[in-house]
Amino acid sequence: MPTLSPLPPTARAPRGHDWLTALLKATAGPGGAAGSGADPLEAGREGARAALAHAGLPGRNHEAWRFTDPLPLTALAPHLLASPASAAPDQPSPLPAATGSTLRIHLDAPDTHARAAWPDGIERLEGEALRKAVLGSVLTDTGVEQEWAVALNTAIVPRVLALRVCGTVAPCLELVSQAGARGGVLPLRVLLLLEEGASLTLLQVHLAEGPSLTSVVMDIALGRDARLQHGLVARGVDEAALLAVTAVRQAAGSRWSQTSLCSGWGLARQEPVVLQSEGRADTRLRGLHWLEGHQLADTHSRMRFAGPEGSLDQLHKVVAAGESRSVFNGCVQVPRDAQRTHASQLSRGLLLSDRARIDTKPELEIVADDVRCTHGATISRPREEQLFYLRSRGIAAEQASRLLLRGVCEEVSAELPAAAGAWSPLSFLNAASQRP
């Protein structure tokens, strides 16, 4: 049960008290997120609601939120977004068509999950099977159960999509949400269990076109020798916010590879948290944030090796223009039992404006004495010699700049699952080139 650390004693109400109170009230009782009876989330929900009401919004005195103020969330409508109505048969879908090798599931339309044609190897869990799956155990093991973003999601999310994967699943599983132009809060929760030797390609897509908050928590447990290729494409607007927590527990021999592209959100916070519970597992992380205007992107990653011979290869990139700001905090924990660990973490930032800002803070906590662990961070501007090289070959200055930026982004986007191509993940490059 979440027990958030309270804010320092004060005579005033907690930060964001009125907004949180209204949101919790709107999601309580019949038809809301609370009080639903035989609900797998109910055990932790009341504790999360009480903790939020007591602690309020985190502020600068919370180290994890020191650079990211969630107070702008209080400008959003404090109620849940309704599930989108199904498009009429004669109306074209606003979304790109799914490829033949892709199964698309709408996370924001839970009533459709039971009717989905789940392929061989994927079982949707509900009722007793879901209770036996021990929902939330990955959050507890990875130490994020009490984090504010997780508590907020637990307090208000009405349902969970829980899936068990066995064997090799051929189609790519595509999980899509649309906040659209509607105002409000869209909470999403996914539990993914990959049994021993299972293999899956997963693509998450989160879209927003108006003043909204998308709150998504993913619990992922990988059994021994399981493989998960995980892509994330998140595209929003200045009025929208994204809070995304991905908690992963890996058994020996497993491999989790995540590639994420995030653009357009006024506030975007991503928290990938990984535990290699037995060691001898492989984790690969690739991330890219594209920022403009006054947008803020915050990535807090944490990797813990609880056994020997594990590996991590992490690359985080950001391109910041206008008066935007990027924050990266990457923590790698290597205790004494994690001998012969090989971990590499690199943060690269590109500034396109004198007013943009990038803060990066790699952390290595190493107790083991037989390891290979490296980290690095660079922040730079477009290199004049590269532009000169392209221009000397007859390429116009504007086109040369676009080519260089595309090269920076494609180092990450090239590792997305093939199904991501339908979503034009680098469309922000074309939009940027059309602005004055």
- The strands making up 212-222's β-sheet, listed across from edge to edge, are 122-125, 161-165, 184-194, 212-222, 241-250, 267-276, 296-305, 325-334, 357-366
DSSP 383: -
Residue 42: per-residue pLDDT: 77
The residues pairing with 231 across neighbouring beta strands, listed in sequence order, are 203, 259
| SS3 at position 395 | coil
Structure tokens at 355: 């007013």
Strands 161-165 and 122-125 come out as: antiparallel
Among 384, 328, 320, 315, residue whose Cα is nearest residue 353: 320
In our burial notation (b when 16+ CB lie closer than 10 A, e otherwise), range 97-110 reads ebeeebbbbbbbee
Q: What is the Cα–Cα distance from 219 to 201, expressed in whole angstroms?
A: 16
Backbone angles phi, psi at 137, to 5 degrees: -65, -35
Please compute, for residue 225, the number of CA atoms within 13 A of its CA located in the half-sphere on the CB side. 5
Contact (CB, 8 A) for 252 and 226: no
Q: pLDDT under 50 in the chain at which residues? A: 1-2, 5-11, 30-32, 34-37, 86-91, 433-436
For 192-206, b where at least 16 C-beta lie within 10 A, e where not — what string?
A: bbbbeebbbbbbbbb
> What DSSP state is assigned to residue 402?
H
Residue 348 token pair: 């690269």
- The span from the CA of 317 to the CA of 326, in Å, is 10
- For the chain, the straight-line distance linking the first and the last C-alpha, in angstroms and rounded, comes to 51
Q: Compute the distance between CA of residue 209 and CA of residue 66 in angstroms, rounded to an integer.
A: 28
Q: Is this prediction's pTM over 0.85?
A: yes
CA distance 296 to 311: 30
Instruction: Please tell me the predicted confidence (pLDDT) of residue 66.
Output: 87
What DSSP state is assigned to residue 258? E
Return the structure tokens found at 36: 């639903």
Residue 432's pLDDT is 56
- How many Å apart are CA 52 and CA 73, to the nearest integer? 14
Phi, psi of 154 (to 5 degrees): -60, -35
- Predicted confidence at residue 194, as pLDDT, reads 97
Cα–Cα distance measured from residue 220 to residue 247, given in angstroms and rounded to the nearest whole number: 6
Q: For residue 155, which phi and psi values (nearest 5 degrees)?
A: -70, -30
Q: What is the SS3 string spanning 306-350?
A: CCCCCEEEEEEEEEECCCCEEEEEEEEEECCCCCCCEEEEEEEEE
Distance, CA of 79 to CA of 76 (rounded, Å)? 9
Walk across the sheet containing 282-291 and list its strands: 102-106, 172-178, 199-207, 227-235, 255-263, 282-291, 311-320, 342-351, 372-380
